[in-house]
Structure 1
């Protein structure tokens, strides 16, 4: 069985957390203080990830969906555990909708949605068939590309003279209230709470003792990069930052050097495509492995085609347009009523129950 190295886990975690956050300005509600919201979200997100890794250490050798039957019993634990692969599969459909909206509104205006989503889901299904090894190797290829493109973007922006540090001032102009609205629940849950899916693959690592350190380091790097993107966008666009649905895409459009280097929005598309690809591959494989383990199937590959059809259907039907998708479905429903219970409340309860059961077992054993 293929084992993920610590480096591969690092790059998968880093790219997964960038995901669709790399292109959407989810912190825009805080205006010019969006970067502060991202830093605070990262700090609290690390605490959430510590919760997940502590649960992993308290349930050695078990994946995410196996934690619940082990601690709650089969009758309670299995129904709760099924919520996670169902949500991960929903995330694949949601990612397809993100890709559909981004591509159709930027470069392929007249391409049917079914073609865009269909090509992407076929590629996802093909890669998932190869398992975690394919995803890990893709992550190793994409990671340096993301870093190189970020450095090029930063150099070009500095060279064009479009950045104005004064756009970041005044700091905390409207106090902490708008920042906290960005931080909780959305800033913590995306991208950090979503990272719970990697608990489906932590048992596949070759150095389990390094999982916590690797995950935290990847989270810090991803959080700092998202913060840098927000600061760059605000310094260039100014207070208008919060009005743009794709601030990174808009930001790259202002680069112009000598009428030769310009119209670099393709960098934004590449960012989005590469990070979204890894994220949806992880979501799909995590969902399939979850279903396989809960139903005790021998192999998850028999589920690839039906899961891909379901994801494609969800991606085509979950929203009519990008505004409904992001500002209503995501912000008003998904984050507060689904993500918070599944990513925060249930794992916290599981931690308390696990600690209590292990404490009681220890007392009985010593007694």
Structure 2
């Protein structure tokens, strides 16, 4: 079986952690102090990811869904482990809904939503069916494009003279409270807590001893990139930053150099399509591989079509509009009641139990 190289692991981790965050913005609740929230979330996110990589080292050769049965026993650990593949399918459905909403409002206005979602999920199914090699090569291909687009965007925004440093001032005008609301729980769980899914891939790397180093480095770099994006958005919009649903898309519309280089919003759509596609593929691949490992199936491929069909149905029906999708389902329900237990509480308990068992074994 083909193994993931260090560069491929870096690529899929980097793009996964950026995900749709760079399109929807990060820390809008903090207003013009959003960039401080990103920095704090990234700093704490490194420790969250460190917990996951320590668990990997304490459970050598085992994936995320195998950690729990190994430490809690089959009867307790297996039901807990099953929660993760189910969550991954649900998140794939959320990503499909993200594509549905943005593409239909910015690019394909009159195209039926089922066509937009159907094509997106079909591509996910095709990539997942191709196995770990296709998933890793997708990240390998997308990374330089994402970095190139980001670099061009920064250069063009600086050249357009639309950024003003006074929009940052006064720093922490409303104190730390709004910043901490963006840091915990959404800031830590989004991107960083979600990175627990990569534990489904770490056993497939060529050099497992480098996984911790690569993952921590990537977490720092993705945090820097999102911080730069938020900083640029605040320098341009000031307090209005929190009012935009797609701040990157709006930001790109302001680029104007000599009335020649203008209307670059399609960069924003490209960002979303690439990062959302790779994230959706990772979520779906981890889901079907997780179910395969928990049920001892010979192959995960039989699960691809029903799992993708479930994600398509979820993407089409989970919300009536963008506001309900993001603010009601994500911030009010998913983050506090699902992500915090599965991304923070359970891994912490698992780490404590694993360390205690190792001590008792000695």
TM-score class normalised by the smaller sequence: over 0.9
- Cα deviation digits, residues 56-104 of structure 1 (max 9, x gap): 0000000000000000000000000000000001011010000100101
User: Partners in 2 of 1:157 and 1:22 — Cα distance?
Assistant: 16
- 1:12-31 pair list within 5 angstroms: 12-31=12-31
Shift of residue 245, structure 1, vs aligned partner: 0.5
SS at match of 2:109: coil
Shift of residue 26, structure 1, vs aligned partner: 3.3
- 1:155-304 pair list within 5 angstroms: 155-304=155-304
Q: Could you say which residue in structure 1 is the equivalent of 2:75? A: 75
Shift of residue 111, structure 1, vs aligned partner: 1.3
User: Partners in 2 of 1:236 and 1:352 — Cα distance?
Assistant: 45
- 1:59-70 pair list within 5 angstroms: 59-70=59-70
SS at match of 1:259: coil
Q: Could you say which residue in structure 2 is the equivalent of 1:103? A: 103
User: Partners in 2 of 1:189 and 1:94 — Cα distance?
Assistant: 16
Q: Could you say which residue in structure 2 is the equivalent of 1:145? A: 145
Matched, 1:50 2:50: yes
- Cα deviation digits, residues 291-348 of structure 1 (max 9, x gap): 0000000000011111111110111110000000000000000000000000000000
Shift of residue 170, structure 1, vs aligned partner: 1.0
Poorly superposed stretches of 4+, deviation over 4 Å: none
Q: Is the 8 A contact 2:202 2:208 kept in 1?
A: yes
Q: Could you say which residue in structure 2 is the equivalent of 1:39? A: 39
Q: Could you say which residue in structure 2 is the equivalent of 1:359? A: 359
User: Partners in 2 of 1:141 and 1:307 — Cα distance?
Assistant: 25
What TM-score does the superposition give when structure 2 sets the normalisation length? 0.99
User: Partners in 2 of 1:128 and 1:332 — Cα distance?
Assistant: 31
User: Partners in 2 of 1:242 and 1:154 — Cα distance?
Assistant: 20
User: Partners in 2 of 1:197 and 1:236 — Cα distance?
Assistant: 35
- Cα deviation digits, residues 172-202 of structure 1 (max 9, x gap): 1111110000000000000100000000010
- Cα deviation digits, residues 14-42 of structure 1 (max 9, x gap): 00001010100231100100000000000
User: Partners in 2 of 1:330 and 1:285 — Cα distance?
Assistant: 22
SS at match of 1:4: coil
User: Partners in 2 of 1:308 and 1:209 — Cα distance?
Assistant: 33
SS at match of 1:251: helix
- 1:284-363 pair list within 5 angstroms: 284-362=284-362
User: Partners in 2 of 1:194 and 1:264 — Cα distance?
Assistant: 30
- Cα deviation digits, residues 138-162 of structure 1 (max 9, x gap): 1111111111111111111111111
User: Partners in 2 of 1:270 and 1:144 — Cα distance?
Assistant: 13
Q: Could you say which residue in structure 2 is the equivalent of 1:365? A: none
- Paired residues in the alignment total 362
What TM-score does the superposition give when structure 1 sets the normalisation length? 0.98
- Taking only aligned residues, the RMSD between alpha carbons, in angstroms, comes to 0.6
User: Partners in 2 of 1:358 and 1:160 — Cα distance?
Assistant: 59
User: Partners in 2 of 1:134 and 1:165 — Cα distance?
Assistant: 43
User: Partners in 2 of 1:31 and 1:308 — Cα distance?
Assistant: 37
User: Partners in 2 of 1:222 and 1:329 — Cα distance?
Assistant: 25
The more displaced of 208-217 and 103-112 is: 103-112
User: Partners in 2 of 1:77 and 1:102 — Cα distance?
Assistant: 38
User: Partners in 2 of 1:123 and 1:273 — Cα distance?
Assistant: 11
